Amino acid sequence: MELLKRNAVPLLLVAAQWPVGWLLSQTVNSYYLQIIVYIGINAMLAVSLNLINGITGQFSLGHAGFMAVGAYVSAACSLFLVNGWPAALALPAILLAGGLAAALAGLVVGLPTLRLRGDYLAITTLGFGEIIRVVILNTAAVGGARGLGGMPPLSDFASVYACTIVCVLVIWRLVHSPLGKAFTAVREDEIAAAAMGIDTTRYKITAFVLGAFWAGVAGALFAHFIGYIHTNSFTFLKSVEVVVMVVLGGMGSISGAIIAAAVLTVLTEALRFLADYRMIIYSVLLIVMMLTRPGGLLGRHEITQWRFWSSRTAR
């Protein structure tokens, strides 16, 4: 009963996504609804990467690779394993399959590489993302260079935002638990944390696997929303895009990552009419932001901590 009371509000928020989704589908243009869905997917990616980069203090550039693993594994499951299942059963099955496959990939990559630090870790994770993309590109069983299509439209506004709420809640509670203090200790001073008896490699791998799991879920939702996936959606630039969301929101700020994901998703679409010039404007805006507020929008604060507005530069 105590567990139910503690989770009553999150459960109500999750359940409310279906009537809200129905209302939006009746009143909002399909293009704008698609952007809203992309905001939810990008928010999940940013929050999950924030656990690795911002809260645990690592620097991963392979998040698009985990997203690709989740997208392709879930697509294969929906096409070959759960084809014909009711949507209420098929959707949780493919999300779990995509998330677990990405988590397994995170474990395989994390075990040998998370003893590295800084630039070496970034290069290793970047290499992993490119390896995954090239392997998929040359695997005919999952479409290869043609891409993979025909997935049933299992994902919609309600499922995306229900998963985003669960993702944010899980990571928020983890960060604000005693376990989260260990993650923060690793970020602040890994040598001092190890001297205090914290198994730094274990906590880094835990953050890496959990972040990869939610990236895989985001990939599964993305695949079953658009119905077609190609490796062009999971390039190095996608990983950089998610890193930019984390940095601009504030390294270590969950709410900052969500706000930055929403702003950058909308900004990318708003500048689409400028064609090639939109990337120049996009880059200039990012430079201005980092010059005026180098700690990101919220720094390491959350939006509930309103005092951050009183400081000119976030710490």
Residue pLDDT, tens place only, 209-241? 999 999 999 999 999 999 899 888 898 888 888
Residue 19 CA to residue 22 CA, distance in Å, equals 5
Least confident of 97-101, 179-183, 281-285: 281-285
The answer to whether position 71 is within a domain reads yes
Mean pLDDT over 164-177 rounds to 92
**Rounded to the nearest 5 degrees, what angle is found at the Cα of 217, between the Cα atoms of 42 and 267?**
10
CA atoms within 13 A on the CB side of 110: 26
Strand partners, 228: 149
Residue 14 has pLDDT above 80, yes or no: yes
8 A C-beta contact, residue 56 and residue 174:
no
The answer to whether position 68 is within a domain reads yes
Residue 275 has pLDDT above 90, yes or no: no
Mean pLDDT over 36-61 rounds to 92
* Position 75, amino acid: A
Sign of CA dihedral 227, 208, 263, 230: negative
> pLDDT tier at 123 (50, 70, 90 boundaries)?
confident
> pLDDT tier at 1 (50, 70, 90 boundaries)?
low
The answer to whether position 162 is within a domain reads yes
The answer to whether position 314 is within a domain reads no
Residue 315 has pLDDT above 60, yes or no: no
Portion of the chain with pLDDT greater than 90, in percent: 34
Residue 292 CA to residue 300 CA, distance in Å, equals 16
Cβ within 8 Å of residue 14, ≥6 positions away: 162, 165, 166
Across the chain, what does the average pLDDT equal? 85
- In the chain, DSSP assigns E strands to 148-149, 228-229
Q: Please name the residue that has the structure tokens 């998929």.
A: 136
The answer to whether position 231 is within a domain reads yes
Q: At what angle do helices 178-188 and 157-175 cross, to 10 degrees?
A: 80
State the pLDDT at residue 39.
95
The answer to whether position 185 is within a domain reads yes
**106: containing domain:** 30-235
Residue 71 has pLDDT above 90, yes or no: yes
Number of domains in the chain: 1
Higher pLDDT, 112 or 96: 96
Q: Is the pTM of this model over 0.75?
A: yes
The answer to whether position 245 is within a domain reads no
Least confident of 1-5, 143-147, 162-166: 1-5
Give how far Cα 36 sits from Cα of 14, 31, 252, Å.
16, 9, 24
> pLDDT tier at 278 (50, 70, 90 boundaries)?
low
The answer to whether position 167 is within a domain reads yes
Portion of the chain with pLDDT greater than 70, in percent: 93
pLDDT in tens, 247-270: 888 888 899 899 999 998 998 888
